[in-house]
Amino acid sequence: MRVSAAIHRAFEISKIDDRLYAAFIEHMGRAIYSGIYEPGHPEADGHGFRKDVAQMVRDLKIPAIRYPGGNFVSAYNWEDGIGPKEDRPVRLDLAWRSKESNQVGINEFATWAGDVGIDMMLAVNLGSRGISDARNFVEYVNHPSGTYWSDLRRSHGVEKPYNVKMWCLGNEMDGPWQIGQKDATEYGQLANQTAKALRQLTPDAELIVCGSSNDEMPTYPEWERGVLEECYENVDYISLHKYFGNSSRDTLNFFGKVEETGRYIQSIIGVIDFMKAKKRAKNDVYICFDEWNVWYHKREQDSKNWKSWDWPEAPELLEEDYNFEDALFIACLLNEFIRRSDQVKIACIAQLVNVIAPIRADKGGKAWRQSIYWPYQLASLYGRGTALRVSVDGPTYDCSVADDVQYLDVAATHDGDIVTLFLVNRHLTEAADLRLSLTGFENARVVEHQVMEGHDLRATNGPDNEAIAPRKGSGLAIEDVTLGGSLAPLSYHVVRLSV
């Protein structure tokens, strides 16, 4: 198939917020315990954190990480995780029917985050608790000294405050599965009052209010309207969550879910704009897509398991094995975030280690990178700077979730003297014969081309096999002002041009 495309130096979408490549990690399953933290493992450092896992995390250049939940946060007492480890209580985690040992709490997590170079984005419990506990938590984390909570932190060996700026006001508060589920007005009022209190403690805080748990919730998008009605002026972001599956093994329809996500984002932008006009508000509210990933391979089995088990500690849960098809899908989804970067400022892959994660760590064994690690890494490394508009003229397809889906999915960024193109040929059988014109970029030349292609869609990586990974690409060249070449069916390309 022939595809024509064009970019122009002056046709910018937006400066990309680096936090478009943020992550999320929750106290659930083996994400924390025997994921990032496993004292006694041969790779454990002096704090009990796994060095092999930490290095894989560092290589992703993640700017921010959301913690400690997720559903877990809605019944979490943050104070259980501070002070001498031997005095910390073991609690029942109602979200995942597990036992929480509290051996990792805010100070341990901050040590890990500092070591891997990631800023913390913390969630407060607005399910079983409220303003007072949230306020105490922020005081413990961010106040310098001279008060009960700040001096308690100092007595725990942390002299300087962490100055955490990003705070999530609860998690998925519309969900019937949530401890402390609320209706939109009730939650919106609580979020509003909590936001005001948190901003007194941290005036430059960036506050994220919960949107719907996903776009299939019966209350979506009325929930967003109701919540923002109560708190628009006091928050900075509204959260979106979406998980994707392909149980029917319909690859093109699976890929079409990226367009569905675009509609989801567009609808919430509509709600935000409506509320800004209604309130005559001066402030802007942006989108924080703080949970996204593929989640379906083991979903049914997992939900049977955890509903019947007897409160295990750090059980295997949501340990999805990601295949090549998932990697192509994630590449397209990240392209969509780049194309929407004028409104989507923060996005968090959910999650980071073991639980629906790009990195897996076997207990007592090896750490390894799943197929989806690579598109996430390539976007995080090179999808910075300014997003450019790309016009694409090529064959399209219809599927049950969307019509007119381009077979070739493209995003482009411009950063200093580098333009990066992210290209996914979603066609099942045909190569894309690409001609992409570059206007305003003199003397462009290809300096790097990485490709993922040629794998069975169901192929996966494992502890002894990381075959699904990018390799050096070839066959794309610039003639005059046009990039041309052939992109194999079902392939992902990251092409960096010096301009």
- How many angstroms from the chain centroid is the CA of residue 291? 5
Which residues ranging from 199 to 218 are in contact with ligand AHR (CB under 6 A)? 213
Catalytically annotated residue among 291, 320, 325, 336: 291
**Residue 355 Cβ vs ligand AHR, minimum distance, rounded to whole Å:** 7
**Residue 71 Cβ vs ligand AHR, minimum distance, rounded to whole Å:** 4
Which residues ranging from 308 to 367 are in contact with ligand AHR (CB under 6 A)? 350-351
**Residue 321 Cβ vs ligand AHR, minimum distance, rounded to whole Å:** 17
From 172, 230, 259, 320, residue interacting with ligand AHR (rule: CB under 6 A): 172
From 102, 125, 142, 171, residue interacting with ligand AHR (rule: CB under 6 A): 171
**Angle separating helix axes 373-382 and 324-339, nearest 10 degrees:** 30
Residue closer to ligand AHR, measured from CB, 76 or 422: 76
**Residue 241 Cβ vs ligand AHR, minimum distance, rounded to whole Å:** 6
The CA distance from 343 to 13, in Å, is 10
Which residues ranging from 382 to 441 are in contact with ligand AHR (CB under 6 A)? none
From 259, 291, 302, 336, residue interacting with ligand AHR (rule: CB under 6 A): 291
Which residues ranging from 69 to 108 are in contact with ligand AHR (CB under 6 A)? 69-71
Residue closer to ligand AHR, measured from CB, 102 or 213: 213
**Residue 334 Cβ vs ligand AHR, minimum distance, rounded to whole Å:** 18
Sequence-distant (6+) residues with CB within 8 A of 350 are 23, 24, 70, 241, 243, 290, 291, 292, 293, 356
Catalytically annotated residue among 26, 79, 139, 172: 172
Residue closer to ligand AHR, measured from CB, 211 or 485: 211
Residue 490 sits in the site that holds ligand AHR (CB under 6 A) = no
**Residue 195 Cβ vs ligand AHR, minimum distance, rounded to whole Å:** 20
**Residue 73 Cβ vs ligand AHR, minimum distance, rounded to whole Å:** 8
Residues 246-285: x/- map of binding to ligand AHR (CB under 6 A)? ----------------------------------------
Residue closer to ligand AHR, measured from CB, 360 or 449: 360
Token pair 């106040």 is at which residue? 143
Nearest CA among 354, 348, 381 for reference residue 370: 354
Task: Retrieve residue 114's tokens.
Answer: 């500092």
Stretch that binds ligand AHR, among 64-72, 145-153, 382-390, 395-403 (CB under 6 A): 64-72
Stretch that binds ligand AHR, among 66-74, 179-187, 379-387, 388-396 (CB under 6 A): 66-74
**Is the bond preceding residue 68 a cis peptide, omega within 30 degrees?**
yes
The CA distance from 332 to 259, in Å, is 9
Nearest CA among 119, 101, 98, 100 for reference residue 110: 119
Residue closer to ligand AHR, measured from CB, 328 or 350: 350
Cα–Cα distances in angstroms (integers) from residue 466 to residues 56, 247, 266, 451, 494, in the given order? 13, 24, 37, 15, 19
Cα–Cα distances in angstroms (integers) from residue 184 to residues 49, 222, 228, 237, 381, in the given order? 39, 8, 9, 16, 38
Residue closer to ligand AHR, measured from CB, 95 or 412: 95
The partner residues of 67 in beta bridges, in order of sequence, read: 122
Q: Residues touching ligand AHR: how many (CB under 6 A)? A: 10
Stretch that binds ligand AHR, among 47-55, 63-71, 325-333, 445-453 (CB under 6 A): 63-71
Residue closer to ligand AHR, measured from CB, 7 or 208: 208
Q: Give the residue closest to ligand AHR by C-beta.
A: 70
Q: Is 172 a catalytic residue?
A: yes
62 neighbors 25 (Cβ within 8 angstroms) = no
**Residue 178 Cβ vs ligand AHR, minimum distance, rounded to whole Å:** 8
Stretch that binds ligand AHR, among 65-73, 86-94, 391-399, 460-468 (CB under 6 A): 65-73
Q: Strand 2-8's sheet: what is its strand order?
A: 391-393, 2-8, 432-439, 482-487, 477-479
**Residue 350 Cβ vs ligand AHR, minimum distance, rounded to whole Å:** 4
Residue closer to ligand AHR, measured from CB, 71 or 461: 71
**Residue 131 Cβ vs ligand AHR, minimum distance, rounded to whole Å:** 21
From 17, 18, 26, 79, residue interacting with ligand AHR (rule: CB under 6 A): 26
Residue closer to ligand AHR, measured from CB, 217 or 252: 217
Residue closer to ligand AHR, measured from CB, 41 or 242: 242
Q: Is 233 a catalytic residue?
A: no
Q: Applying CB under 6 A, which residues contact ligand AHR?
A: 26, 69-71, 171-172, 213, 291, 350-351
Which sequence positions are flagged as catalytic? 172, 291
